[in-house]
Structure 1
Amino acid sequence: MATDAIDRRSAAPMYDQLRRLIVDRIHSGELQPGDALPGEHRLCEQYGISRTVVRQALAQLEHEGLVERVKGKGTFVARPRTSESLVHTLEGLYDEVERRGGHVHSEVLRHERTVADAEVAAALEVPIGAPVVVLERLRYVDGEPWSLSTTWMPEEVGALTLGADLRESSLYRLLGEHGIHATHGVRSAEATVATHEQAQHLGVSAGSALLRLRSVSRDDRDRVIEFFLAHHRGDRSRFEFQLNREQSQAALTRI
């Protein structure tokens, strides 16, 4: 970056000129994901601009998802977010990532029989206290913590999964081997923030943005076969929706 790269005669604000210079370096590959940007003081010296201008530029880049600012460490080029279609399809994370050439590994945190509380019972359409199987996994995509998911299944469905090694395989494929296939259901996504426990698992700070996915899936007999809650890192995931005029079935829920 040259010290005369900021054009003081331009109508464009200086912070936006600096933002564009950094964006150009990212798009050209000169700056790679994970690379550190020069510190605020260094940028001020390089361009002869104030710290206020530098902070405005970095704040805009952070808002655009191009950089990440880590307290006490500096500003880094952000890793690109991965598009996911998990909201509008019945695919699981394993199948979604495999389809685009990635790799999913799961750390199984819990896989056992338990009893349904009120929320789980309502979702699975079973009595409160009914036996169910719970599967809690920390999902890694290409070696990086990606999501924390908990799946509950009715006992007759979940029993088929007990003892199976789900670290490198798909739950949906396992169920499919037993003739159980999700054919329809309801999924929703909402913004939330990481609890202390979630943050520890996902490698983020408590209070960081997460995307919360909630799903209830049914088979061809209209039987509920699973209910899951998944928390995805907001800095790594982006959900995409395929829209068309003929199949507009989205609903806006007011809470």
Structure 2
Amino acid sequence: MSAVLPDAIDRHSAAPMYDQLRQLIIDGIAREGLQPGDPLPGEHGLCERYGVSRTVVRQALAQLEHEGLVERVKGKGTFVSRPRTSESLVHTLVGLYDDVERRGGHVHSDVLRHERTVADEEIALALDIPVGAPVVVLERLRHVDEEPWSLSTTWMPDAVGSVTLGVDLSEASLYRLLADNDIIATHGVRSAEATVATHEQAQHLGVSAGSALLRLRSVSRTDDGTPIEYFVAYHRGDRSRFEFQLQQEQSQASLLHIDGRAGITLAGSKRVTP
């Protein structure tokens, strides 16, 4: 059953009615203790309850959807949104497992591939190793709270990756495993860019081919500059958002470049200035 949202629009307020309605819906979700996936009143019900036009209702819902607080499903209605990955992992050396865990979520990984292979030109360049050198590849389909979330492939130099072979990483953090073996990333470079899902990626992630994805590329290094991993990860666009920390000092800037593909490259855990 849909929730009943209390209170009323203040028609004498300087605040736009759609913004008031937006806040009333947020307050109602909190008051009712609604959970992700719970339905909200439909457009017609909100119009009647608050005595506003459908245009006002649609403006309020559009803003809430933009903020990632509600989801509108054509033909089904409006629902409390599932939380999005914060993507603080774009600008810090944190992995998806730790990013989600600290927000109270759960990550499970389907390990699609975990074996030794050899470095091609792209991998060799990223890891500062010769073409053909042995590497360990780890390909995982990551689930957040049982929902397909990202598809990632990580390549590690053999000396690093060998400590991961034989370890069950379906319920574990790769970074923690490496740290337990005294392999700790202290800095690196990550980039983020928009792309669309191929047919194969769409099947894994539970979206339609051509759906928006966020592609992350990352090289992490130890204190002495030795690369320990290179990964490429595809995150569902409807479950991801950018999150950057800002400082005033220009000297702290770590925004390196924005290329023609709208890719944003960020340096390690440094902060970004506007």
Same fold (TM over 0.5): yes
Q: Report the number of matched residues.
A: 255
Which digits, 9 at most, give the CA deviation of each residue in 1:153-173, with x for residues without a partner?
A: 123332332222111222223
Aligned partner of 1:253 in structure 2 is 258
> Normalization by structure 2: what TM-score?
0.76
CA distance in 2, matches of 1:92, 1:174: 12
**Contact 1:113/1:134 (8 A) holds in 2:** yes
CA distance in 2, matches of 1:147, 1:61: 24
CA distance in 2, matches of 1:185, 1:100: 24
**Contact 1:2/1:47 (8 A) holds in 2:** no
Cα shift at 1:46 = 4.4
Answer with 198-207 or 183-192: which moved more. 198-207
Query: Structure 1: 5+ residue runs without aligned partners?
Result: none
Answer with 9-18 or 218-227: which moved more. 9-18
Cα shift at 1:148 = 1.9
Q: Which amino acid aligns with 1:251?
A: L
- 1:21-170 aligned within 5 A: 21-29=24-32, 31-47=34-50, 49-170=52-173
Cα shift at 1:62 = 1.4
Q: Which amino acid aligns with 1:150?
A: T
Which digits, 9 at most, give the CA deviation of each residue in 1:195-249, with x for residues without a partner?
A: 3333333334444443322110122342222100122334444443334435333
Aligned partner of 1:19 in structure 2 is 22
CA distance in 2, matches of 1:199, 1:211: 13
> Normalization by structure 1: what TM-score?
0.80
Aligned sequence identity (%) = 77
Residue 38 to residue 81, structure 1, CA distance change in 2 (3 Å) = same
**Contact 1:147/1:233 (8 A) holds in 2:** yes
CA distance in 2, matches of 1:72, 1:116: 48
**Contact 2:107/2:144 (8 A) holds in 1:** yes
Question: Aligned Cα RMSD in Å?
Answer: 3.2
